[in-house]
Amino acid sequence: MRLSLSSGNVQADDAPPRHSWLSLPGLCCQAAGGDPQEADRVAAAWVLLYTAAHLFDCVQDDDPADPWWQALGPGPAINVASGLLTSAWLVLAELGVHRPVVQQLIQDFQQTVLRMASGQHLDLTDPQPSLQAAWAIAEAKSGAFFALACRSGAQLAGTPQPVADHYAGYGLNLGLIVQIGDDLQDIRAGRSTPPLPVAYCREMALGADDDGAQLYLATKLAQFRARALDSLEAASGDQPAKGQLAKLVCSLVPEFEAIPNYG
C-alpha cells in the first residue's frame, strides 16, 4: 500500500490538517524506497514522544492544562508524560532490538530527546535570548523533532546515511516552518508573544509588538520552505513520494504568509 496525501489526508488545496505530520515517517520510508507500513511503529513512537514532550512543556511553561489533567494537576501529568516516554522506547523495541537499524533508531530517538531537553533548558533559563539563541532553541526543539521523524523513516528503508540526512534536513526545515506558523498564529490571535519575534524586535531595536516581526517570520518561512525542497531534491528516492512530501511543506506555508503590506 502506498501512502498519499492527495485525497483523504488533505482537506483543501492549501490547508492540510496537522495530523498529516504523522505520515512523515511512512512517507519518508516510502520516498527512500521502503514499505511505508514498516514505519507504523516508528510513527507511533514519534507520536508518543510528541505527546510526552507536549505535556512536559505545558507543565514547565505553566500553560493552561488540557481538560483531561485539569483536575489532576501537574504532578500526575508529569507522571503520565514519563509513562508515554517509556512507552515510546517499548514500541521501538518491539521492532526487534537485535536488528542493527532498530538499535540505530532507538539511539537516534534518545539523542533527539537529549537535544530537545537541551533546547528546553535554554528556553526555560534564558528569559531574554538573543535572536541567534532563539533560533537555536527552535531548531533544538521543533526542528530536531521533525528531523527525527523523517530520518527514522528513511533509515528504516535501509537508505545510506547521507541520503537519510537529506530527509532529516527536510524534516528540520519543516519543523521550523511549523514552529514559525504557530508563532504567527499566536501573534495574530493575541494569545502570547513568542520568543522569536520578541528576540527579533529586541535585536533590531523595534518595539516589542512591532508588526515588522511578522514580515521577518514570513521571510524565514519562505527561506525554510526553499531549504526543505532543496533537501528533498538532493535526496535520492521515489519521485512521487518525494512529491507528496513537497506538497506537504508547500501546503503548510500559505496560510501563514499573509503579512501586512509594506509596499
Partner 1 sequence: MTLEQIVRRITTDSAFAAAFRADPEATLRQEGMQLGQGEVRAISAALRQPKSPNAEIPWYESQLDRGKPQAEIPWYEAQLGVRPT
Binding site for partner 1 (CB under 8 A): 1-4, 6-9, 13-14, 17-23, 40, 43-44, 47, 50, 53-54, 56-57, 116, 131, 141-142, 145, 175, 178-179, 182, 200, 203-204, 206, 210-212, 215-216, 218-223, 226, 229, 232-233, 239-240, 242-244, 246-247, 250-251, 253-254, 257-259, 262-263
Minimum distance, C-beta of residue 239 to partner 1, in the bound complex (Å)? 5
Minimum distance, C-beta of residue 211 to partner 1, in the bound complex (Å)? 8
| CB-nearer residue toward partner 1: 120 or 155 | 120
DSSP state of 127: S
Minimum distance, C-beta of residue 73 to partner 1, in the bound complex (Å)? 20
Minimum distance, C-beta of residue 196 to partner 1, in the bound complex (Å)? 11
Rounded to the nearest 10 degrees, the angle between the axes of helix 144-156 and helix 100-125 is: 180
| CB-nearer residue toward partner 1: 68 or 262 | 262
Task: Return phi, psi of residue 133, to 5°.
Answer: -70, -35
| CB-nearer residue toward partner 1: 21 or 69 | 21
Minimum distance, C-beta of residue 98 to partner 1, in the bound complex (Å)? 26
C-alpha cell at 149: 521523524
Phi-psi region of 150 (alpha: psi -120 to 50; beta: other; left: phi over 0): alpha
C-alpha closest to that of 15 among 241, 230, 256: 256
| CB-nearer residue toward partner 1: 2 or 188 | 2
Minimum distance, C-beta of residue 171 to partner 1, in the bound complex (Å)? 13
Find where cell 493575541 sits: 190
Grouping H, G, I as helix, E, B as strand and the rest as coil, residue 220 is helix
Asked if 61 and 114 touch (Cβ cutoff 8 Å), the reply is: no
C-alpha cell at 140: 533544538
Residue 47's H or E segment, with its range, is: helix 40-61
Rounded to an integer, what distance in angstroms lies between the CA atom of residue 54 and that of residue 26? 22
C-alpha cell at 28: 519518508
| CB-nearer residue toward partner 1: 161 or 240 | 240
| CB-nearer residue toward partner 1: 7 or 125 | 7
Rounded to an integer, what distance in angstroms lies between the CA atom of residue 247 and that of residue 257? 16
Rounded to an integer, what distance in angstroms lies between the CA atom of residue 234 and that of residue 229? 9
Rounded to an integer, what distance in angstroms lies between the CA atom of residue 117 and that of residue 205? 30
Minimum distance, C-beta of residue 165 to partner 1, in the bound complex (Å)? 20
| CB-nearer residue toward partner 1: 104 or 247 | 247
